[in-house]
Amino acid sequence: MKNSIIAIGVFAAGILAGAAGAVPTGWDSGILPRIILYVLVVQVGLGLGSGGGLAALRSGLSLRSLLLPVCTIAGTVVFSALASLLFSLWSMTDCMAVGCGFGYYSLSSVIITGMKQAAAGAEGAAALGTLALMTNIVREMTAIAGAPLLVKISGKSAPVVAAGVTSMDSALPSISRYSGSDTVPAALVHGIVLEIATPILVTFFCSF
């Protein structure tokens, strides 16, 4: 939760800096978000390769372990599409792109902002990117703070599904505590699969 609070603080600081006119001219040209996006994608690869993520994926790989992230992806896409019925401002694919951030707020918001500028304009793209940022931060915080209630209502896998990508890092201690240590391998595989799926699915839905 600490990381989420820091992210919200940085986000608020960015809003204040922009409103005060402290942002250097040219930073809103779309070049900077693209550079940040490339850096984040490289970071994903470095994290998987050097942090033992691929080894954990190989060791925990089974049909049963893959079923959980597949269900998370399917459920997120379906309910994001249904959520679009409540928001006339955004299309169904926009809402699906936001949902497919799977808690990876830093990467998904940058991809959406960068890809949507041509179709929605700078303001529209920034608004959708902001929605993605806040939605995925809330997803992470809900998984961490709500883990005991989620386990009680829906079972041990519920916090893993709710956490999305963060089931392998920031939400893992909470998952281990309330779902049991036997859930940790599945949570790691779940997070790794979704980390790979996030840029693919977000980019796909943003292309419409």
Q: What is the pLDDT of residues 128-183, one digit of tens each?
A: 999 999 999 999 989 988 999 999 999 999 999 999 999 988 888 889 899 988 88
Q: From the DSSP assignment, how many helices (H) and strands (E) are in the chain?
A: 10, 0
Sequence-ordered list of residues with C-beta below 8 angstroms from that of 206, at least 6 positions apart, any chain = 93, 97, 111, 112, 115, 116
The CA distance from 160 to 188, in Å, is 9
The CA distance from 33 to 36, in Å, is 5
Taking the alpha carbons at both ends of the chain, their separation in whole angstroms is: 33
Indicate whether 30 pLDDT > 90. Answer: no
pLDDT band for position 48 (50/70/90)? low
Q: What is the pTM of this model?
A: 0.78
In the numeric block, which tokens belong to residue 77? 């896409």
Angle of CA points 197, 186, 137, to nearest 5°: 55
Q: Given this model, what pLDDT does residue 34 score?
A: 65
Structure-token match 């992210």, residue found: 7
Radius of gyration (Cα) for the chain, nearest Å? 17
> Is 197 within 8 Å of 66 (Cβ atoms)?
no
Closest CA to 163 of 178, 147, 184: 147
Q: Given this model, what pLDDT does residue 17 score?
A: 76
